[in-house]
Structure 1
Amino acid sequence: MPKPHILFVCVKNGGKSQMAAGLMRQAAGDAVTVDSAGTKAGDKLNALSVESLTEAGVDISAGRPKQLTDDLIRSADLVVVLGAEAKVEPVGGTPVEVWETDEPSLRGIEGMERMRLVRDDIARRVKQLTERLKTVSAGSDG
């Protein structure tokens, strides 16, 4: 079976989707092709996102926001949208899954404390997705 291609999407592609991509690369290694993009891509990564991942042993500092395209969606096996703000329509039959990520700022939690909570929520979901992909892959080997 070819490697699954996972595309993580948020609005600016400077924070949550970049974090998810970095965490997926850490969790799955070379077993998965990982991309991230934004529906309205910004021009830089969120510094606190980068710092919170560095604490977890993941370096995304060289990443750059990328604009989401239909071709990018079509190339993926699964599109994961982080949060309710980004809207992504399926293209070419590619399934789209929405992760309603925790938003600590709604509870008055800001700064690095907020980013660590966001990171940990995304990391938990990435781990579940990685396990799901292993199960699918193992099921197709027989």
Structure 2
Amino acid sequence: MNKPSVLFVCVKNGGKSQMAAGLMRKAAGDSVDVYSAGTKPGTAVNALSAESMLEVGVDITGETPTLVDPQLVRDVDVVVTLGREAHVDPVDGTRFENWDTVEPSEHGIDGIARMRLVRDDIAARVDQLHSTITHPA
């Protein structure tokens, strides 16, 4: 069996997609090839995202936002877009999912408290995806 692969995409590739990739690497170890990218990448990982990840033993501080590579989109098994703003054109043979993640700032929750809620929402989704791609029915 080939090793499954997943690409996480958000707009800036500085927060949610980096968090998802870090959480998948933690959950999957070497059993899944994990990538992240942005549709309009920023210049750095969001500091609060990185701080919230360190709290659960995942270090994304050394990651660099990168642009979505159309070839990678074709090559991976699953592309996950996070949030409502990131869009990747579907391609045949690749599974696409959109995670409309929790957005605590819409309820007045900001700062590290917001990032913890976002992280925990993404972590639950990553665990579910990990199960489905490493143990297909």
TM-score normalized with structure 2 length: 0.97
1:4-83 aligned at under 5 Å gives the runs: 4-83=4-83
Contact between 1:70 and 1:91, CA under 8 Å: does it hold in 2?
no
In structure 1, distance between residues paired with 2:7 and 2:75 = 9
In structure 2, distance between residues paired with 1:36 and 1:6 = 8
- The structural deviation recorded for 1:13 is 0.1
User: Does residue 113 in structure 1 map to residue 113 in structure 2?
Assistant: yes
- The structural deviation recorded for 1:131 is 1.2
SS in 2 for 1:97: strand
- The structural deviation recorded for 1:92 is 4.2
Deviation per CA, 1:22-59: give whole Å up to 9, x if none: 00000010000000000001110000000000000001
SS in 2 for 1:36: strand
SS in 2 for 1:19: helix
TM-score normalized with structure 1 length: 0.93
In structure 2, distance between residues paired with 1:96 and 1:127 = 17
SS in 2 for 1:80: strand
**Deviating more after overlay: 91-100 vs 11-20:** 91-100
Q: Which runs of 5+ in 1 are unaligned?
A: none
Q: Tell me the matched-pair count.
A: 137
Q: Which runs of 5+ in 2 are unaligned?
A: none
Segments of 4+ moved more than 6 angstroms: none
- The structural deviation recorded for 1:107 is 0.4
In structure 1, distance between residues paired with 2:75 and 2:48 = 30
In structure 2, distance between residues paired with 1:40 and 1:10 = 8
In structure 2, distance between residues paired with 1:134 and 1:75 = 17
Deviation per CA, 1:68-114: give whole Å up to 9, x if none: 02112012110000011101111343121000100000001000000
In structure 2, distance between residues paired with 1:130 and 1:6 = 10
Partner residue of 1:132? 132
Tell me how large the CA RMSD over aligned residues is. 0.9
Contact between 1:89 and 1:96, CA under 8 Å: does it hold in 2?
no
